Amino acid sequence: MSDRLHIFDTTLRDGEQSPGCSMNIEEKMRVAHALGALGVDIIEAGFPIASPGDFEAVHRIATEVHGPKIAGLARAAVKDIERAAMAVQPAGDNARIHTFIATSPIHMEAKLRMTPDQVLERAVDSVKLARSLVPEVEFSAEDAGRTEIDFLCRIVEAVIKAGARVINIPDTVGYMTPDEFGYRIRTLVERVPNADQAIFSVHCHNDLGLAVANSLAAVENGARQVECTMNGLGERAGNASLEEIVMIMKTRSDRYDLEMGIDTTKIVPTSKLVSSITGMPVQANKAIVGANAFAHESGIHQDGMLKHKKTYEIMTPESVGWNTNRMVLGKHSGRAALKARYVELGIELDDARLIAVFDRFKILADKKKEMFDEDLMSLLTDDAELDGEHVKLISLHVASGTSDTPVAAIELDIDGEIHKATAEGDGPVDAAFKAIKSLVEPNGKLLLYSVNAITAGTDAQGEVTVRLQYGERIVNGQGSDTDIVVASANALIAALNKLPNMHAKEVHAQYSGV
């Protein structure tokens, strides 16, 4: 059995399926490069047949991100597999197709309407086709946790014989407990005659809060690949958390003596990048990457920490990428220093993008006495060069007081044309939102409005997340500024830019000439 644990990151595929977490191509590229620098073994870059955008993202990642293997997801269907093969082809020897079919009775009967023999035949044919197109094939038995064990053994043996060299056993609905799941993995390893010809993988969902525990139980029983996401993103309650899996392995190497290729000092910067792009904040008490993960308020704890840090810390903040020197740059800093700090945070900026970010850095540095890493990350979320930006904020003026009705005057650039409007609201943010929505369509239904301070201090930037729903599409937008109303307007505009067919409304009489 291998003494290496392979980390398979599916943030860009399963993580992106979280409501509101969809990313455009440039955002996916930033995350993919960060994952490559982090040292993950496999990046599941997307589901190529899902959309032209997904195909392009997978193809670009396969072309530009070097080091990890690049996987494209495909159903056990000819068109899916051929499309995935085209998308990952630029990765060469690092190309992988990850094909799947459901194997549980409820899925086969209710969803696929296929017999077990038909499912097995489809799985084998799909693996053979995929293996003829790329160097490596991974097969997943969807809902393996609720699959009859005899049939699961049978289909695993067949797909290994057909050429699959990675066998994924997903707990698709997060139903299993650690002892059950560990026993299932061990049963497969021991009962399948050709099990030694494949790496066993697990993909655990967190519906009962057991994704990490089930993944560990699988590793203890022979799994050597864990599929996970940054910050535990994913459908419903999410997936096993990459940072937790990795740091358990590192911190408890006495129990899990397995090699990994992860640079743990890049965990926190990658977590922050994913959070800023998806608009999904990390809860303060989240293990490893939460703001309070290394905070000590109890007097007893503080006394112990002053005497010896290991009294209450089983790992150091620096080991996972927390920077103890919080103030890093100021208004007198140059472009080279800014670029160097981004490199330390695991982010490579090309010259054109560095110039754009540096201009915004200087504007922000004039407003703030101290600049923090969190401020630098927020500058990336405001990148005006991302694809699909139809609407830009030109100016915003708001009047509000204790006895006055708040009113906002907005000026937007919509596809190169200037549009203006004013609106009243229950507060300055509400007025600004109404003014913006009066100028564009579609404008969607507001599902979430969230404000967080990026750093401490009265001059701190406010980071606003806005979630909109338009039909079945849910999108997030983020904005940051030392003025919370401006940050809110930017967040709404960022979300609007992600809605399909965004355009200016026909000018209404009450807004003309404003």
Predicted confidence (pLDDT) per residue in 326-343, tens digit: 445 777 788 888 888 888
**Domain spans, the chain:** 6-278, 299-381, 391-511
pTM of the model: 0.80
Q: What is the pLDDT of residue 312?
A: 54
Rounded-to-integer distance, Cα 184 and Cα 191, Å: 10
Q: What is the pLDDT of residue 192?
A: 98
Can you tell me the mean pLDDT for 235-255?
95
Residues whose CB is less than 8 angstroms from the CB of residue 322 and which lie 6 or more positions away in sequence, other chains included = 268, 294
501: pLDDT strictly greater than 50: yes
Topology classification of domain 299-381: Recoverin; domain 1 (1.10.238)
CB-count burial class (<10 Å; 0-12, 13-18, 19+) for 115: exposed
CATH architecture of the domain with residue range 391-511: 2-Layer Sandwich (3.30)
Q: What is the pLDDT of residue 446?
A: 92
Q: What is the pLDDT of residue 163?
A: 98
Where on the phi/psi map is residue 388: left (φ > 0), alpha (ψ -120 to 50), or beta? left
Q: What is the pLDDT of residue 331?
A: 76
Contact between 479 and 464 under an 8 Å Cβ cutoff? The reply is yes
- Per DSSP, the residues of 362-408 read HHHHHH-S-EEHHHHHHHHHT-TTSTT--EEEEEEEEEEETTEEEEE
Contact between 237 and 17 under an 8 Å Cβ cutoff? The reply is no
CATH architecture of the domain with residue range 6-278: Alpha-Beta Barrel (3.20)
514: pLDDT strictly greater than 50: no
Q: Residue 4 — pLDDT band, cuts 50, 70, 90?
A: very high
| 154-178 CB burial, b ≥16 within 10 A, e <16 | bbbbbbbebbbbbbbbbbbbbbbeb
Can you tell me the mean pLDDT for 231-240?
95
Name which residue leads in pLDDT, 275 or 193.
193
39: pLDDT strictly greater than 60: yes
358: pLDDT strictly greater than 50: yes
Q: What is the pLDDT of residue 337?
A: 84
Q: What is the pLDDT of residue 295?
A: 72
Q: What is the pLDDT of residue 388?
A: 55
311: pLDDT strictly greater than 70: no
Q: Cα dihedral angle (471, 476, 481, 482), rounded to 10 degrees?
A: 90
Name which residue leads in pLDDT, 481 or 374.
481
508: pLDDT strictly greater than 70: no
Q: What is the pLDDT of residue 444?
A: 87
307: pLDDT strictly greater than 60: no
Average pLDDT of the chain is: 88
